[in-house]
């Protein structure tokens, strides 16, 4: 059977280091450490759980949950990021899509050009694009957005699919992107709720991720901002490894980047 060999989450944006040399360096080094850990886990496949930024999906045609089902993806190239194609895994993606739909979760296939929500985390953890990667979207700009409970269930189905449907000792790493607290395009932009960010990370890394499934999106919007809804991708990741403990790899509250910059690593149960 397949195995989840590593689970990681990190913010999926980087700002200018001008005037922020020390915190920006700590963030970047933390992201690179997550990359070292992911590569050391030696996965055959990375599933990136993240959000799109209206570069692939339209509000008038929402896809709250979607998955890229191609064998190759060409990045969108926003934020000046490279557009070098990377390999997907159509067989696994299509199988996962069927498993999620069979569980009563509304997920749709999507032809995508991944934007920075995928490419910043992926570019840091696998800069050579050596590992096949599937983008799985937990969208935060669609109304209604998936709830934490739905995202936790998605993670549960993901784990079951990997363990029951993938062949042999197939090794999968999960990488959630986004968050933590940030407000975008609203008067509160630039605020960071460090207390909330640290609570989210403490709950996750102490093996209590299931508590986050009980949150409501309204509470996340209030405490973490409209961008804070990206924590739902982290919740989906945690749902795939219930009870897993871990550690905070980095955290910096950076109002100039309008974000609580964070990264965590959880250790899946290999029993």
Domains and CATH numbers, the chain: 3-266 (3.40.830.10)
What residues have CB less than 8 Å from 219, skipping those under 6 apart?
none
**Rounded to an integer, what distance in angstroms lies between the CA atom of residue 212 and that of residue 180?**
14
* Mean pLDDT taken over the chain: 94
Output the pLDDT for position 239: 98
Output the pLDDT for position 127: 95
pLDDT > 60? residue 114: yes
Output the pLDDT for position 55: 77
- Does residue 189 contact residue 255 with C-beta atoms inside 8 Å? no
Output the pLDDT for position 53: 82
- Does residue 7 contact residue 245 with C-beta atoms inside 8 Å? no
- What does the pLDDT average to over 62-86? 93
**Rounded to an integer, what distance in angstroms lies between the CA atom of residue 53 and that of residue 141?**
7
Q: How confident is the model at residue 270 (pLDDT cuts 50, 70, 90)?
A: low
pLDDT > 60? residue 262: yes
Model confidence over 10-29: pLDDT tens digits?
999 999 999 999 999 999 99
Output the pLDDT for position 168: 85
- What does the pLDDT average to over 90-111? 97
Cα–Cα distances in Å, from 63 out to 101, 106, 110? 13, 9, 9
pTM of the model: 0.96
- What does the pLDDT average to over 250-256? 96
- Ranges 39-43, 54-58, 115-119: which has the least confidence: 54-58
Q: How confident is the model at residue 142 (pLDDT cuts 50, 70, 90)?
A: confident
Cα dihedral sign for 216, 109, 267, 260?
Answer: negative
- What does the pLDDT average to over 157-172? 96
What residues have CB less than 8 Å from 175, skipping those under 6 apart?
8, 9, 10, 34, 38, 46, 47, 48, 49, 121, 122, 125, 237
pLDDT > 90? residue 236: yes
Output the pLDDT for position 146: 94
Supply 50's token pair. Answer: 């993240």
């Amino acid at each position: 059977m397949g195995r989840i060999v590593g689970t990681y989450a990190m913010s999926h944006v980087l700002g200018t280091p001008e005037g922020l040399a020390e915190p920006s360096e700590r963030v970047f080094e933390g992201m690179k450490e997550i990359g070292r850990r992911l590569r050391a886990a030696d996965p055959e496949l990375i599933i990136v759980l993240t959000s799109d930024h209206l570069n692939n999906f339209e509000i008038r045609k929402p896809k709250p949950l979607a998955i890229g089902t191609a064998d190759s993806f060409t990045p969108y190239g926003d934020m000046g990021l490279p557009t070098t194609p990377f390999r997907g895994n159509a067989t696994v993606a299509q199988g996962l899509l069927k498993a999620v739909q069979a569980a009563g979760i509304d997920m749709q296939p999507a032809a995508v050009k991944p934007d920075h929500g995928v490419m910043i985390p992926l570019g840091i953890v696998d800069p050579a694009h050596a590992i096949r990667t599937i983008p799985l979207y937990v969208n935060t700009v669609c109304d209604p957005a998936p709830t934490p409970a739905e995202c936790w269930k998605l993670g549960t189905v993901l784990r079951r699919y990997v363990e029951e449907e993938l062949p042999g000792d197939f090794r999968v790493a999960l990488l959630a992107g986004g968050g933590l607290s940030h407000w975008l395009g609203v008067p509160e932009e630039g605020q960071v709720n460090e207390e909330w960010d640290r609570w989210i990370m403490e709950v996750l890394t102490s093996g209590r991720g299931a508590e986050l499934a009980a949150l409501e999106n309204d509470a996340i919007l209030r405490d973490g901002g409209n961008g804070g809804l990206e924590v739902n991708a982290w919740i989906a990741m945690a749902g795939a490894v219930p009870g897993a403990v871990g550690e905070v790899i980095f955290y910096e509250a950076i109002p100039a980047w309008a974000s609580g910059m964070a990264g965590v690593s959880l250790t899946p149960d290999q029993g």
